[in-house]
Amino acid sequence: MLVLDRAGEGVDHRGVKDLPTLLRPDDLLLLNDTRVIPARLYARRPTGRRFELLLLRELDGGSWESLLRPGARARVGEQLGLDDGGEVLLVERRDEGRWAVRFEPPLELDRLDRIGEMPLPPYIDRPVGATDEDRTTYQTVYASTPGAVAAPTAGLHFNRELLDEIVASGIELANVTLHVGLGTFRPVTAERVSDHRMHSEWYRFSQETADAVNQTIAAGRRIVCVGTTSVRALEGALAAGEGKIVPGEGWTDIFITPGFRFRGVGAMLTNFHLPKSTLLMLVSALAGRDRILDAYRQAVDSRYRFFSYGDAMLIL
């Protein structure tokens, strides 16, 4: 784990196991408890042509929004067959490769568990694709609320023993839910960052977590976010509540770039991110673009692993 202290210079090289001593005893550690669903499906025409669907979110009326490949060869109104004998109807073509689709019979989560596979990132290229083991390993140990189409990967560094040590050191834990979707993993392709359109992601704060966050801010204590999704949930909810967390659910399309004024985030644990990603811009907003680029150069020189199953960076 690379440790970047914004108050100092340079970086330190530690391990995730050192978190209980690197954090303050009165910190609040905010975890995203979303659970990844097996959102990748395959459907076929009667001719045998195969299409890949990546479900993004459930729409009103039981329809789903999905990415579809190869979308250019698909036609509105087509019915494609699924492995369990059901069908998917292509209802509406949307922008950026998205489609509205409807399943027959309706697609409940237990059925999705049977016919879907885990939506591993495309750079994890295996001849056999996702396996049953990924249903456990591509999931945080505290995942509890199904709905994400990608894992909040900073949380993959934790096991139960480490969480117990963190609590024993006096650090408070709180859970928020943000279902990771297109807003998190869609790269920036616009020539100007200000032209990039963030897709909304659903979040929920329980009364308990809302109280914990509001009390922490009021007391001048520090909130340490685990992952960029916890940051987006926190800052999106604080913006909606004008500086306070209102318990309940909502949608956020917050786009955090350098110059952003953070209302709640005091520190964060994150992985190393892809170039031209909104995630890299978010960590640059917190630590400064030059400090992040210098830290990334040192991480490359030290052979840190990047991306979903990679190493961690703690920004203090």
* Average pLDDT rounded to a whole number, residues 86-110: 93
Nearest C-alpha neighbor of 281 from the set 162, 171, 187: 187
Where does the pLDDT of residue 183 fall: very low under 50, low under 70, confident under 90, or very high at 90 and above? low
Prior bond of 258 cis (ω within 30°): no
Contact 147, 202 (CB under 8 A): yes
Where does the pLDDT of residue 125 fall: very low under 50, low under 70, confident under 90, or very high at 90 and above? confident
pLDDT of residue 126 exceeding 90: no
Q: Can you tell me the distance from the alpha carbon of 84 to that of 79, in angstroms, rounded to the nearest whole number?
A: 14
Tell me the residue ranges of DSSP E strands in 94-190: 98-104, 145-148, 172-178
Q: 79-82 and 64-69: which strand pairing?
A: unpaired
Contact 139, 152 (CB under 8 A): no
Position 168 scores a pLDDT of 97
pLDDT tens for each residue of 224-233: 999 999 999 9
List the domains of the chain with CATH numbers: 2-36+135-315 (3.40.1780.10), 40-116 (2.40.10.240)
Position 193 scores a pLDDT of 67
Q: 201-205 and 312-315: which strand pairing?
A: unpaired
Position 170 scores a pLDDT of 96
HSE (CB half, 13 Å, CA atoms) of 87? 10
Where does the pLDDT of residue 266 fall: very low under 50, low under 70, confident under 90, or very high at 90 and above? very high
Position 86 scores a pLDDT of 93
Query: DSSP label at 307?
Result: S
pLDDT tens for each residue of 7-63: 988 899 999 999 999 999 999 999 999 999 999 999 999 998 999 999 999 998 789
**Percent of the chain topping pLDDT 70:** 97
Q: What is the mean pLDDT of the chain?
A: 93
Q: Is 226 helix (H, G, I), strand (E, B) or coil?
A: strand
Q: Can you tell me the distance from the alpha carbon of 150 to that of 35, in angstroms, rounded to the nearest whole number?
A: 9
Position 129 scores a pLDDT of 79
User: Sign of dihedral through CA atoms 102, 103, 106, 107?
Assistant: negative
pLDDT of residue 272 exceeding 70: yes
Q: Which two tokens stand for residue 135?
A: 């249903």
Q: Can you tell me the distance from the alpha carbon of 290 to that of 13, in angstroms, rounded to the nearest whole number?
A: 19
Position 270 scores a pLDDT of 97
Q: Can you tell me the distance from the alpha carbon of 130 to that of 126, in angstroms, rounded to the nearest whole number?
A: 8
